[in-house]
Amino acid sequence: TREYAFSEDHWHDFEDHGRSVANQRWKLIHNTYPDLPNTPSADAGRSPTWAAIQRLRKKNKLTPAQGRCLSKPRAEFELYDLKNDPFELVNLASNEAHEKILSDLKAVLKTQFKRTNDYLPSKRTPDEFDRITGAPDHSVRRRPRASKEKMFGTNGSY
């Protein structure tokens, strides 16, 4: 079995760029665009569930967990204890008691970036949909899409 599992979140309908590493006990998420909310895909943005979230948001009745997909800025780093918090609701990244595991997982993630030649794109891609309503933004949403090189740039850094 592997010691670590890695995942990524990047531009789809909305600009985002995040990476994570997890082992059996811990998960570290690095949100490299913490100024943006963790908006779900545009498909979800046009769903009855998203409409209900918006109604509750307008009435200030969302729980903190429900409102996380709308919150900005979000934490650059999120650390979760998967054994005691399997739903990843309590971010432990700023908890001094977990500094060592945070540091260790950051190092693992950095090694993975180097090993896979991963980088933060040199330019951001504009959102193709409204983050609240899910409506397409036709000033941005053009087909055929530009090349990945034009959209993301060819280099960058962390």
DSSP-assigned letters across all residues of 40-58: --HHHHTSHHHHHHHHHHH
Indicate the burial class of 1 (C-beta count within 10 angstroms; 0-12, 13-18, 19 or more).
Answer: exposed
Predicted local distance difference test score (pLDDT) of residue 157: 60
Q: Which two tokens stand for residue 106?
A: 């950051």
**Which of the 8 DSSP states describes residue 18?**
E
pTM for this one?
A: 0.84
pLDDT band at 4 (very low <50, low <70, confident <90, very high): very high
Predicted local distance difference test score (pLDDT) of residue 155: 65
**CA-based nearest residue to 45, from 124, 123, 145, 137:** 137
Q: What is the mean pLDDT of residues 75-104?
A: 98
Q: What is the mean pLDDT of residues 130-155?
A: 74
Q: What is the pLDDT of residues 27-77, one digit of tens each?
A: 999 999 999 888 887 778 778 998 899 899 999 999 999 998 888 899 999
Domains of the chain: 5-152 (3.30.1120.10)
